[in-house]
Amino acid sequence: MPQRGLPLGPAWHKRMVPNWISAGCISTLQMIDFCIMKVRLFATLRQVAGAKEVEVDLETGETVRHALERLVHLQPNLKERIFDEKGGLQRSIIILLKGRNIRLEEGLDTVLGEGDYLAIFPPVAGGGGWPKTSI
């Protein structure tokens, strides 16, 4: 029976990429493992990016930091909302890796693997409160 739907996380593939040899600028090709990871954006981040999700290319062994750097390369308006001036995460941003906060793992140094996906939530603040009613 055929499987329905698409997997949530990335599928790892092989890709031929140039490998420059510095001694003579000779280009050769080598095989690397890579994947396309979906990064889901929520609330105001969707408005800033103009998309619900963005796909980023990753190589085997790369980290959450690599994925976020590629994301802000594709969507520069997200940079200040995700990273602070020192290159760390904004204190109020929440990034989930397969539903788990990366701060409970290795933070930006968490290594990504097959089947992983990221969800990014901006800070959310209250509203007008509950309507007043008389009892």
Domain containing residue 47: CATH number: 3.10.20.30
Which stretch of DSSP H or E encloses residue 131?
A: none
Question: Does some domain include residue 126?
Answer: no
pLDDT tens-digit readout, 50-84: 999 999 988 888 999 999 999 999 999 999 999 99
**Separation between Cα atoms, residue 106 and residue 64, nearest integer Å:** 9
Determine the pLDDT at residue 57.
87
> Does 3 score more than 50 pLDDT?
no
Cα separation of 52 and 130, whole Å? 30
Task: Give residue 70's domain range.
Answer: 12-121
Alpha carbons 123 and 35: distance in angstroms, whole number:
29
**Considering the domain boundaries, does residue 4 fall inside one?**
no
CA distance 112 to 27: 29
How many angstroms separate the CA atoms of 118 and 79, rounded?
16
Residue 5 falls within a domain, yes or no? no
Percentage of the chain surpassing pLDDT 90? 56
The pLDDT assigned to 36 comes to 82
Is the pLDDT reported for residue 19 higher than 60?
no
Is 40 domain-assigned?
yes
**Is residue 87 included in any domain, yes or no?**
yes
